[in-house]
Amino acid sequence: MDFSRDYLHGRFQRSYEEALSAKRGNDLARAKRLFLEAADYMERLAECEGEERETCLANAQRIRRIAAAIVPSPYGNTVDTPISMDPSAPQSLYPIGTAGEKAAPARGEPIPTGMEQYFTFFRPDELEGFESVIGLEEAKAAVEDYVINPIRYPEAYSYNFLDNKAILLEGPPGTGKTTFAKAVAKEVDQPFALVNVSALVNCLVGETGKNIDKVFAFLRAYAEKNDCGITVFFDELDEIGKARGSDDKTSEAAVPALLRNLDGVAKNKRFLILANTNRKDLFDSALAERFRKLIYIPLPDADLREKLFAAKLSDVEERFMGELDLKEAAARSEGLSGRDITFICDDFKYLLAKVKAGLAEGTPMEALLGLIQKRMDSKK
């Protein structure tokens, strides 16, 4: 049975990344099995790639060498034979290694007690880059021009640019803005601080502003101590960033502190501020002006929805996938977000599990379309 390039790529990517994760967790038997599985999918991809066929085959051999070098101990996962990577191996058109082999080293001290309530902290080696973001090519290009290229080519970007780099991600809920922000941090090799905006709010006069000051002060000190930049992400910033004078007491206290700290980011030129909003029209005008770039993250179009279905169902058995028409599924799901499609696919896999267990009967495509329609109806 023939499968599409996107489907095979999704299955390869999942197996390879799970193999890397298992290896990092010292689950060597599982890592070996998943690397071999990934190599199988890469070889099948070679049949779809035309002029890239030799590159894919070479990478499949490379992955098999990685698997061969892993020797699980008979006494448990305690032995990991060092892997000697071949630097002359061809680079695939797929992002092999970006999630593991070439990950930035873990660095920096743990978050001190008392700070974890305000944000979740990720080191670069805990993140995935743009390979984890399906679509959004315009958004990726905008970030590359504004943030990534200046880091990659410092000699060319030698002008006196403004120090404060702040990017506002705007778009409907469920379009992957948080995933995109994490990927940006990975691409620039920076720790990622996901700020819990709700935790900053305090009903006592002046305390909300103090909490914002506390977060920024800690992150600046961390960056200086560890000689690194930091990507700071405020999810749903409009919760504390509404226009002053709108009778929103939370924003009345929070906006001045946000303005003060956004202006103060110049103290660390490698600080990158990202924020997410579904309602930019509610923003305080002075706060909106602090963001030098606005990147719109739209709902997925039909082509992207098809790719999302393929990626989210990449672990489904071939006998079921062969009965699905993902192009039709994409056409039937117009107006749904990436999050909606993720939930649909998760529910679909629960139904398939019942079929496999002999607890239910049904046609896979009919079941998938039924879940899509149910989600569509819930949006009305």
For 4-26, the pLDDT digits (tens) are 677 677 778 778 878 887 777 77
Q: What pLDDT shows up at residue 375? A: 92
pTM of the model: 0.65
Is the CATH number of domain 119-296 3.40.225.10?
no
Which percentage of the chain shows pLDDT scores above 70? 82
Task: Over range 88-99, report the average pLDDT.
Answer: 35
Mean predicted lDDT score pLDDT of the chain: 79
Q: Directed axis angle between helix 5-24 and helix 302-312, to 10°?
A: 50
Nearest to 121 by CA among 107, 134, 133: 107
Is 90 exceeded by the pLDDT of residue 347? yes
For residue 147, pLDDT over 80 is answered with yes
Residue 1's pLDDT is what? Answer: 41
Mean local confidence (pLDDT), 128-157: 86
CB-based contacts of 106, cutoff 8 Å, min separation 6 = 123, 125, 126
Rounded Cα–Cα distance for residues 305 and 338 (Å): 7
Model pLDDT, residue 278:
85
CATH class of 302-378: mainly alpha
pLDDT band at 83 (very low <50, low <70, confident <90, very high): very low
**Segments making up each domain of the chain, as ranges:** 1-102, 119-296, 302-378
Lowest mean pLDDT across 40-49, 273-282, 289-298: 40-49
